[in-house]
């Protein structure tokens, strides 16, 4: 076996292993994407005038299930009155777990 063949085989094996590792890794939703999903979900019901989200996920338990979540809020101004809503979003899937008015 030539050294060149050995190096090519090693490079292909390394690349395949890295690709499998990346594909199997648990990806999470970025806080920016989670905020965008929340805004898209509620924008047809209320006009959104502002929003915020914590950038670091935190532990959250609901119905005896554990989640890593982002917390955030949106504000809406209608008829001169500003209303605040807080939300909790699953950091792994982007699913809204809680949305409540202040």
pTM of the model: 0.71
Domain locations along the chain:
28-101
The tens digit of pLDDT for each residue in 45-101 reads 889 999 999 999 999 999 999 999 999 999 998 888 899 999 999 999 999 999 999
The DSSP bridge partners found for residue 90 are 69
Contacts of 41 (CB under 8 A, 6+ apart): 96
Q: CA 21, CA 14: separation in Å to the nearest integer? A: 11
pLDDT at residue 10 is higher than 90:
no
The reply to whether CATH 3.10.450.40 applies to domain 28-101 is yes
Q: CA 36, CA 56: separation in Å to the nearest integer? A: 16
């Amino acid at each position: 076996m030539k050294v060149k063949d050995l190096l090519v085989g090693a490079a292909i094996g390394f690349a395949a292993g890295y690709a499998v590792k990346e594909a199997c890794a648990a990806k999470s939703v970025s806080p920016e994407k989670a905020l965008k999903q929340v805004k898209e979900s509620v924008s047809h019901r209320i006009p959104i005038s502002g929003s915020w989200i914590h950038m670091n996920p935190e532990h959250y338990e609901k119905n005896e299930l554990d989640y890593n979540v982002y917390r955030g809020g949106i504000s809406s101004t209608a008829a001169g009155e500003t209303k605040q809503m807080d939300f909790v979003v699953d950091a792994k899937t982007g699913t809204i777990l809680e949305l409540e008015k202040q």
